[in-house]
Amino acid sequence: MQNTLIRLENVTRAYTMGQRKLFALREVSLGIGAGEFVAVVGPSGSGKSTLLNLISGIDKPDTGRVWVDGLEVSAMSENALAKWRGEKIGVVFQFFQLLPTLTALENVMLPMELRNTFGDNRRARAAEALARVGLADRATQLPSELSGGEQQRVAIARALANDPPILLADEPTGNLDTETGQRVVELLIELNHAGKTIVLVTHEEALARAAARIVHVRDGRVVESPPSPLQPSSIQGESDRGVVENPPPTAPPPPSPVQSEGGVAESLQPTIPPQPSPSQGAGEMKESLLVLAPPAAPPEPFFLQRENVGEVAESRQHAAPPATPPEPFFSRREDAGGRRL
């Protein structure tokens, strides 16, 4: 691969759990080019996060080697790794990892203070990084006063504080709703277009399709790693790499007409209903026509039917007058002999 920035060579990493040895990665070889946007996809426990930890130097392989920007990261000391990581790597965690007692601006300034970089320009750079992720008006808020999506964007701004060329995002949308997660992915695409090399770990195929290349990891092995076009990606429609995410349906080709003797295509001839055979009698012909006849119209609803005037008059003559209701008992007055007054 040309312009390879990250390279893993036959990397194996295992962890001991009591009497068992669990393999997170098994003989993995992988290359990532400069300026690529790569999504690493796999179920929980497949080794995705271990892969990021090896690239960032947070963890070391049991066997194999890890190279980043020409340096063998797997052979560096902890002190050298800490300095190198502050310059070359920005990490975005699933659970944000913001210090709760610092404001959004102070959280973004922290990497510059730890590396003692940019001096008096730290506050201005932090404010610029927050504006880049759309949080210029939230700079003085504590993490507890921010939504989950806002906290994740602060974490991205913090990862960009020292302007590293590589951004590693470990399930950055895992604790966000779909709409907010989509905005975070769009932000990563913008950063990739600006020249950052991005490695995104996710278990969601829909989010992974925003990347220019998808690497599948299962049971500690890379099971699919298509060649990288080394071009920025697009989130929908026709992408910069010439792939259409949702291509329009292709119309089926028209059937080839079969020419009749008169030179007129059979497909253009009118359809003639089948004629009865000479052996079919008149009764059979009539029966077939009855079968093919359209169904009779439904009867007119009763409320639309009109009666004959005579029938209405007759019904009214025979109708008995309504009975007179009995007089209420409390209105009757009788004398002592029972006669009604």
CA torsion sign for 172, 175, 177, 180 is: negative
pLDDT at res. 204: 84
Strands 71-72 and 63-68, by their bridges, are antiparallel
The pair of structure tokens assigned to 337 is: 């002999």
Percent of the chain with pLDDT over 90: 42
pLDDT at res. 93: 84
Which pTM was predicted? 0.64
- Residue-wise pLDDT for 120-171, tens only, equals 899 999 999 999 888 999 999 999 999 988 998 999 999 989 999 999 999 8
The pair of structure tokens assigned to 104 is: 């959004």
CB count, 10 Å around CB of 252?
6
Q: How far apart are CA 181 and CA 320, in angstroms?
A: 78
Radius of gyration of the chain (CA): 40
pLDDT at res. 322: 57
DSSP conformational letter for 340: B
- Residue-wise pLDDT for 160-202, tens only, equals 899 999 999 998 888 778 887 888 888 899 999 999 999 999 8
pLDDT at res. 113: 92
Check whether 259 has a pLDDT greater than 90: no
- Residue-wise pLDDT for 269-304, tens only, equals 444 555 554 444 444 444 444 444 455 555 555 444
User: Quick one: which of 132, 248, 143 has its CA closest to 188?
Assistant: 132
Q: Are 4 and 32 in contact (CB under 8 A)?
A: yes
Percent of the chain with pLDDT over 70: 65
Could you give the C-alpha distances from 311 to 52, 251, 288, 301, 322, in angstroms and in order?
93, 65, 42, 19, 21
- Residue-wise pLDDT for 12-42, tens only, equals 999 988 888 899 999 999 999 999 999 999 8
DSSP conformational letter for 155: H
